[in-house]
Structure 1
Amino acid sequence: MAVGRAWRSAARQVPLRLTAGAFFLNSGLSKRDADDATAEGFHQFAAGTYPFLGKVDAQRFVRLLSAGEVAVAATLLLPVVPAAVAGTAVTAFSVGTLGLYLRTPGMRQEGSLRPTEQGISLAKDVWILGIGLSLIAEGLQRKHR
């Protein structure tokens, strides 16, 4: 009976893990060989919100960002990684991107959480937070059974 429940739980995670994992993998791999202008753009955007990143070289920053996204993808795509672990990785990443959305001027309409045209690309990442929190909840629920 417990094996049947565990299998159903894992089966429910497949769509979340595959779609988000593929998204993270594509995003990470596309940044892997970023040219200097692209790296500088990502770096300036992130350092504007998170000033400590200003001390990191732009190319190094983008390589680390790429590696981070590929690592998150691996936690999602490898079925041996527990749901709570994968969910924690996804949630941590999404908190960073949503921080960019909330703290960068021009991303939101004045006095609102509603995105501007420029903010939509980051605001939509709220679905990543939902996926991460769902996986954490599922993983914790499984532990308590």
Structure 2
Amino acid sequence: MGFTPSHAILRLATGAYMINSGVSKLSLDEESAEAIQNMAANAIPQVKQIPAATFGKALAASEIALGSALVLPFVPTKLAALGLTAFGVGLVATYAKTPGLTHADGVRPTPAGVAMAKDSWLAAIGLALLVDRKRRKDPKPAKPVKA
């Protein structure tokens, strides 16, 4: 998959957002890291096995690494998109499984869930980058038909 202008726009905007989000988490205090970890544990219970401070640093590093992969043009789009899709799906699962973030239908966000509901866009952008295929020219042009 090539690095097209449409990919560049999606990758740069999303990557910059991810880097900023990760950098802001580098200075998380223990209490904030634990709150994020508790939300993540609703979708992935194994994260509770990690100390909260370590989880916060790992999350920050993951977001910075993923954002960097998105903005660096030498990282293949498919690889960056796989990472973004996985990360986005994890965030959507956290949103869906955290009590109080959705209405009774389990989809629409409550006022408390609006901030997490927007993470569905990250998963959607990752999927869009994965399924977008550049049209390839036929390697062998059709031979003219002799009359």
- Provide TM-score, normalisation by structure 2: 0.85
Q: Which residue type is aligned with residue 97 of structure 1?
A: L
Aligned to 1:73: 67
Shift in alpha-carbon separation, 1:112–1:102, aligned structure 2, 3 A: closer
In the alignment of these two chains, the number of paired residues is 136
Deviation of 1:112 (Å): 4.2
Aligned-partner Cα distance in 1 for 2:49–2:42: 12
Aligned to 2:96: 102
Encode CA deviations 1:55-100: one digit per residue, 9 max, x unaligned.
1100000111011101110110000111111110100000110001
Q: Which residue type is aligned with residue 81 of structure 1?
A: V
Aligned to 1:127: 121
Aligned to 1:46: 40
Identity fraction in percent: 36
Deviation of 1:143 (Å): 8.8
Deviation of 1:133 (Å): 0.7
Moved more, 50-59 or 40-49: 40-49
Matches within 5 A, 1:1-145: 10-138=4-132, 141-142=133-134
Runs of 4+, deviation exceeding 3 Å = 142-145
Aligned-partner Cα distance in 2 for 1:130–1:97: 12
Q: Which runs of 5+ in 2 are unaligned?
A: 138-147
State which structure, 1 or 2, has the greater radius of gyration over its C-alpha atoms.
2
CA-atom RMSD in angstroms: 1.7
Q: Which residue type is aligned with residue 26 of structure 1?
A: N
Q: Which runs of 5+ in 1 are unaligned?
A: 1-5
Aligned-partner Cα distance in 2 for 1:125–1:46: 13
Structure number with the higher helix fraction is: 1
Aligned-partner Cα distance in 2 for 1:20–1:85: 15
Q: Which residue type is aligned with residue 62 of structure 1?
A: G
Aligned-partner Cα distance in 1 for 2:104–2:12: 36
Deviation of 1:144 (Å): 6.4
